[in-house]
Structure 1
């Protein structure tokens, strides 16, 4: 990941007086932790929730059990739901949710293999970006790739704001 991307996001958030929060399943807080390492993180980072287990998605982030059963905890539909649920718990301008499969044992199939990751983001409750990605490699490489792609999407969005 390009260090400049995260630094640029930090500057843009501070300049625009905006803040963000994360709901992370497969990345288990790595995205939030990455942003917490930036200078002045307290001025733009509200925090995050690591919701690795489906029961946290359901009980804490108010994801409907039927949605979890129909689409699986690792899906775009559930990623959207955890992002929206996060907005009820942590007030922030931008909410970002991440789910996916970094290792065997989840809901992987031939159509959704290990390395499939989902990102969903809202600004003021309105959808701003989402993406389904496929990575290969170790768990660490999948998480790193997801963080890098999320940063790219966020930077692109912030650069387009007036």
Structure 2
């Protein structure tokens, strides 16, 4: 089903003549990789940035260090900032940023357990959606569920 969702989303982007770019932390390039497998992906996929380390969030995408310190690298605030930072680097119609906790060792706590994912989507400088979702399972299952969620969300919005 996952490939069908991504293909459907990709075809919808092509039909609507929209382009997309990703700022990926938690998914570490998986979104761009999966979307690149859609037939004619070059018509909609511009590219992305993998910013797994907080230093890249700061230096490449312009997320303020104080924001990362105050809210943690895995937070809605940082996800919003890295998405907006991406929009200054890449020319696309839609920008999606993803941070979160796919395995232990980050900023997890009882209120933000492993499996918590933050997604921020922007189109024409306006928020398309901002989500905080909780997935369970292995690191692979969490990343896969995140990719599926984003494809479904885009399909419903577009």
Structure 2 length as normaliser, TM-score? 0.97
In the alignment, structure 1 residue 86 sits paired with structure 2 residue 98: no
The equivalent residue for 2:112 is 112
The equivalent residue for 2:61 is 61
> How far apart are residue 8 of structure 1 and its match?
1.7
In the alignment, structure 1 residue 95 sits paired with structure 2 residue 95: yes
The equivalent residue for 1:140 is 140
Distance, in Å, in 1 between the alignment partners of 2:10 and 2:144 is 18
Is the deviation greater in 45-54 or in 6-15? Answer: 6-15
Distance, in Å, in 2 between the alignment partners of 1:7 and 1:146 is 16
Q: CA RMSD in A?
A: 0.8
Equivalent residue runs for 1:1-162 within 5 Å:
1-158=1-158
Distance, in Å, in 1 between the alignment partners of 2:38 and 2:2 is 14
> How far apart are residue 28 of structure 1 and its match?
0.2
Secondary structure of 1:91 counterpart: coil
Aligned length: 158
Distance, in Å, in 2 between the alignment partners of 1:154 and 1:14 is 13
> How far apart are residue 5 of structure 1 and its match?
2.0
Unaligned 5+ residue runs, structure 2? Answer: none
